[in-house]
Structure 1
Amino acid sequence: MTTAPGRRSSTFTRLLRHGFTDPSAAERFLDAPAVAAIRADPLLLDALGATADPDLALRGLVRLAEAQEDEGERRLFLDTLVTAKPLRDRLLGVLGASEALGDHLARHPGDWRVLATYESADLHPGVSEFEQVLAAAAAAADPVALRVAYRRCLLAIAARDVCGTTGVAETAAELADLATATLRAALAIAEAAAPEDAAACRLAVVAMGKCGGHELNYVSDVDVIFVGDVPEGAGDADETAAVRAATRLASHLMRICSETTVEGSIWPVDANLRPEGRNGPLVRTLSSHLAYYERWAKTWEFQALLKARPVAGDAALGAAYQEAVTPLVWQAAERDHFVPDVQEMRRRVVATIPAGQAEREIKLGPGGLRDVEFAVQLLQLVHGRSDASLHSGTTLDALAALAAGGYVGRRDAAQLDEAYRFLRTVEHRIQLHRLRRTHLMPDDEADLRRLGRSIGLRTDPVAELNREWKRHVAVVRRLHEKLFYRPLLDAVAQLAPGETRLSAKAAGQRLEALGYADPVAALRHLEALSSGVSRKAAIQRTLLPVLLGWFADSADPDAGLLGFRKVSDALGKTPWYLRLLRDEGAAAENLARVLSAGRLAPDLLLRAPEAVALLGDPEGLAPRGREALEAEIVAAVGRADTAEGGVAVARGVRRRELFRTAAADIVGSYGTEESPAEGDHGALVDRVGTALTALNAATIAGALRAAVRERWGDTLPTRFAVIGMGRFGGQELAYGSDADVLFVHEPREGVDEHEAAVAASAVVTDVRRLLQVPTADPPLLIDADLRPEGKSGPLVRTLASYAAYYRRWSLVWESQALLRAAPMAGDADLGARFVELIDPLRYPERGLSEDDVRDIRRLKARMETERLPRGTDPNLHVKLGRGGLTDVEWTVQLIQMRHAHEVPGLRTTRTRAALAAARDAGLIDPEAAATLDEAWVLATRVRNGTMLVRGRPGDTFPSESRDLAAVGRYLGYGPGRVGEMLDDYRRATRRARTVMEEIFYGYEAP
């Protein structure tokens, strides 16, 4: 079907919006006759867009539909796809993540039915459920049918995985159970082919490695050990003949699973972990195994036996094997050279990685899965001798047991658990695409995009994936170094004087242990800073050991060191800079904290490096008042040749003062590892809000002066004032807040009203234009949408026009908005008269009517349901979420509008001041007031912390883990305490929501 050009353009845009990278091809696939019946389904594109690769999912869907050769079958399939959301999500999820399973469905088009329903057995299948699916193939002794049935089971496992029905640990366990069922089916086929061998022996199949540990990959060798014996009750039967029969069965089992047919292979069965490896006999008796382990086995073999688990064949023989070898596993740590042997094994594994692949190796590379597994297994073998709770073959279960037993710090265990789950998930999704055995992170952009989207990264999948991967690898490398090679290494160890004798490799290892993600770059920075015989280098060599420790104590040591080098490069030849850091102890520590606490403050400092001097002055971080700032900015504007030049100077002042405020905030907020930062957080929030308000007001005053001076000289034909609204008027600005304003003017005596209006409109246009010139500094955005008639009303009105509007048309929400109106720039007398005009509206003499209260409640309820971004956790959105800023502010404002006429203390634009006045006047219980105040302060600090860390505003906690940890440090929570921070936030805002509902929604007007 040919689509009209207009429609094609619309469809093309929709496809791009839904994540398709080749919209033209996607349009052609949507036009395919096989999917004509569902082309118009409005949910289809949404479901495709939710997949890892919408283009791949659509191609697979069309292929599957075309493979339904019977028209009735195709109609049933398409009807079910449209009406059954589970099928749609699971099928498209699989098709978008796995090209190989898409091929399987095209070859076996009826297998879509296994995804159509959610049966209890389907949700949590075990070995018995998988055996039922494989039973027909086993009974028919058909290896090809076994492969088809195996892929059918794999299809269901993948669907649960990609749709999030199961987590990575559950998926790995299901894959291990499927492998168990497959081994049993393969053994049944082998026994059916050679019944005489089956009768002549007992054979037990013992799973090893990931299969034994219940943590198998999608595509992996299945490691096994075979144990043979004479049949039970056979008396003096020939043991050698029994072992030969068992060997033939074992070999046939391996061929059934490993050989490639028209349906591909299942997986290789690897028996190389047996005694003597590939040089030893495939099958041994139990007594032969024990004789080998007692005399010849190496340490790594006992480490491997930790995961041994009988899975198929003779159950009694398998249990006897496990019972016999288990004590040997837990005695291994008593062997001579145990720890060096295990460490050497790890080094040998790393050495086998092909050149150029180490940095892409998810499994074997430094910071990869094997690092976690080796660290956990070493600690298990050391402590499992006396603690049976550690005897688990599953890595995550063992890690949890180590933490519970106190052998690993809970914070370290939590970080390792998170990193391991992330890396295993990435490994699974890489393998799932083509069902190939690989542990390499792809280097193709399209593969990386699909991989990132498959684990839920959608904004910038490739960049986010690389960031998350590198972060988790850094965590594993640091903790592996700590737990595996240097068990006694303190997490905040500092480089001591004299360590310059360390080799580059040893220095890199030390930096990794300190938490540096890129030790090579760090070493370059250290060399650039400290090499040579200059006075500068000598002072840096004295400073760096201490600075490195401070950087390591932050959420981003690499950023701290890089920032320090950049500042030093800019100021290193300035005599006062190094003297400041050497002689003023606080200056160096403050600089380290500021440089490693996030993006905003370092970016500001690097654009004005001389501001580092503020960090050494005891009074340097004290905020400057609005009058002083305005005087400096207006004087600078007056000296500039152009309006643009004047505002550029004003921006420079704003940049310096933003850094002063941010640095003071960081230094005052930084807590210790042991406990959140102590102190009056409310006072710190008020100080930041006041400083930012004063700075933005002074900057607007400077822009106003520049605009007037360029067109009219010293005097504008009309009096003009800027009224702050919202958080601007309330002196409660956060770092990323817009400046909500109203513009008011009044013609000067003898000036025509039209001329005055034209001048006022022109100056508003010029002020906004000057402030919106693109710059690398944080923007100062002016928002005038709270003006009468909103966006459709004039930007500026006369005072008389405001009076007429408020007298005739004002609604209760506008009176509420005016509660935070305050003059910020321009004619002070006009600003004061505007306040005099609005006071009766915002502090009504008779309070609020019942209808007014109902309107306010209705508006608040609408805001809660309509303005919260879709998909946002309402418990963690600091502005609109439950118990967040809006809940507290609207509660306080309702009290103000009802009682401010009779309680002077309520006539303030500041939320906390009004809340305190309401408490003092007995209008709110002191405990309830404290609950609201705590939540408001905490939500504001989260908002400020997010901007400081990310360099851009946000109303939710950051999703990137390193940023989240940095916000935690700003709030006073040390490493590993992110969960505690989120719990504390939920608890504080939950209490605030309860108070809000009692007062705001339960507040009846008289």
Structure 2
Amino acid sequence: MREPGTARSTRLSRYGFVDAAKAAEHLSGDVGLWDPVTATPPEGPAGELLETFAVAADPDLAALQLHRLVEKAGPEPVRAAVRDLPGWRRLLAVLGASSALGDHLVANPDEWRLLAQPLSTVDLGAVADVPALRLAYRRVLARIVAADLTGAFALEAVMAALTDLADATLAAALDLARAERPDTAAQCRLAVIAMGKCGGRELNYVSDVDVVFVAEPPAGESDVDGALRASATLAARMITICGIVAWPVDAALRPEGGRGPLTRTVASYLAYYTKWAKTWEFQALLKARPAAGDLELGAEWLAALQPAQWHAADRPEAVEEVRAMRRRIVDAVPRGEVDREIKRGPGGLRDIEFAVQLLQLVHGRSDESLRTPSTVEALRALTAGGYVGRADGEALLRAYRFLRSVEHRLQLQRLRRTHTVPEDPDELRWLAAGLGFRPNAQRDAVEAFRAEWTRLSGDVRRLHEKLFYRPILEAVARVPSEAWRLTPESARARLEVLGFADPAGALRHITALTGGVSRTAAIQRTLLPVLLSEFADAPEPDGGLLAYRKVSDRLGSTPWYLRLLRDEGVVALRLARLLGISRYVTELLSHDPEALRLLADDAELVPRTGVDGFLAAARRHKNDPIAAAHAVRARRRRELFRTACADLLGRLDVHAVGDALAAVTDATIAGVLEVANPTGLSFAVIGMGRLGGCEMNYPSDADVLFVYDPGDRPDEEARRAAQAVAEELRALLSRPAPDPPLGIDADLRPEGRQGPLVRSIAAYAQYYGRWSKVWEAQALLRARFVAGDPALGARFIEMADRIRYPAGGLTREQVTEIRRIKARVDNERLPRGADAAMHTKLGRGGLADVEWTVQLFQLRHGHEVPGLRTPRTLDALTAAAKAGLVTPADADALAAAWRLATQVRNALTLVRGRAVDQLPRHGADVNAVARACGRPASVESGEFVDDYLRTARHARQAVERTFDAG
């Protein structure tokens, strides 16, 4: 008994057919690939042909088109396939991928034979008229499609073949136009310049072909107007012919767009691009390529315009204009299509092209290897030249090839222009199959396609943001084109203009950094013109360049170093500013190169105030105190670098700097104390002076007191244990190391250096209650628990409050004693030869003046004014003003002087790399300090010094009205 027809025909489904019954009808009869009676393929080679349907984009469409072709041409296509299987595969691939080309083959039944012949070169042959040209175009197009679909052509070869076909079509159409109007043709020379994808030799199957036209009178003639009229006639006819034959020709990229003349002379183009062209027009010129007509004239046109093209990025608005154009393109995509657009939407082809083109415009001024109209070639050159990282370049190439392949398959089906992935499930299945995706046990072909599209589109979005909005691009663009092409002689002259005192030495550094053909040297050649401009803004450009060379010598072979400077452009600019101003930062970086990574992320320039990381570093080496201290100090070095960079980059005010320096000191002491106190003795470190007030500057020692509680231990045992802890803490922190030293100064303890290094809480209470002097109560004003046993620290502070905020304030004699001590400090501690007006700490209106004034308020009124009970100078000054102890004007003057003196003192250390208290009145260091304090480069050093003197003078006058006379 025979099986029903439907059951028999479903056996075809294993070849990929969706409608197996309909496929059985199409493959029966003259096609001869299916026997409707036995429901089997024929025996022998003909039966094997069915296997090839499974790799067609749409097996059902292929069967239908084959049936139609055999109806028109007879069974010969199938018979030929038995003799030539590769030819059969090409035929079936075309029939299953494009209904439009299937219609063409059915309408021209002999054309299928050409598909069996491999395509080596694009040749339209001789064409006598427009219909012949249209037929020739379709014939070659079908052969390109066959080579594409069967893997004979890779993507680049497909794009090149389509471009060659377009060039040949343009040339043939122009020849037909000339043949129609020979008299007109004789009046001009006409060159057709391909633009856009055609210019880049990356044409897709269905696209407008962008062109511009260049015309000149024939050799020996001078009738320009006549040549322009004749050329416009020929160009218009050529456009019409191409629209009939293949695709629209778009000449809108010409000067003035649709409003401008269709053809222009070389001189007219040059005048326009020199005076009027916008950045996007120069961007479009990146793809310009003589394609048809008078190629010699086309080359002349291109040579005339390229100098202006490669200066386009010099304009200050150029980079932002390209970015704005990209945003407008995205905004123009209909909202419902933006996620399905493979060309204009985010993560699409335009993201790749715009990123590549912007890098070409900026870097192509100096690097001629980037001057190619091809996106693929330009991306390879950018990668080879170090402008794009290798992994990033490969990721973009993969995404570009994938997205262009999707675009090709979308357009092939009906030979219509589209860049939108369909929503219809059947069309999606066809697209996925056409791209080679096949179902497996985990997911079907559409799911596999979507996963790959999502992954690569995400890569494009990420890399587009990374490259297109790279901060260093604006800085590179600001460097004039001439700066990139210098002889040694002109380089020295330019370095002199930039302010380098030793241009020959600077040139040696530059040569050492950029010499050779290595990738490292190539990236340095990209960075250095920008960095030199940044160093030129520094007070001593030579120092900045020398520091940069030292860092590069240390890190140049580290894979991430130059990649970080190139890809995270803000790092290069920040590094240049820091190295150009600060020896302190340079020294820190030389010992901790990895810290450079902090400059890439704003969040990393926020000081870390917690102690946990320091404690963890110590505990990792709990059995080796020296290693533990080394780990803690390395962490301190990193935090000092973080704070100094944030300070110099204007991200911290003077209060935040003091807080950060105090916090890192607290954490360092706590971390080392973790291993210095192995017995767990109740031990606390009390911060004094600037540490206690959270008003440290970069080189400050840590003023401390050591206190312990013996608990259940015998007093002498506890005392010896506490002494050992204090000495071990100081020893571990004073060992030679590559980080800035942290001195532990305990001289503010009772009886000073003659007194014991440590005391019990009871001993402190006894001493302060019976024998302390007023100056010791004054020193306690800044006492603050820093590290160790928090409960013990709280007990000490509670005890200190009774001493530093005495009930009833101070006696007249005590006030007099404080003034006497202050006068002695002013006279004896100011260094010999120091400028009393410019010394930030002990000078007139300096830190000591303000702090002693505020501390006198605290000692006299702290008991009854709670706001004065703080170790911080400015907080206490604010409370004094609110309590009416000082006028608002004097409080403002004192606060302003304290802030400026603190800021200048910090800046002096950052600039010189060591502790400095006196601001010089002139010289490069004054300029550097002004810059470190956030003053713009336009502020003269004398102006900054005058500002400091004026601020200090107002503060000194307030001191005389309050501290001296109050």
Structure 1 length as normaliser, TM-score?
0.47
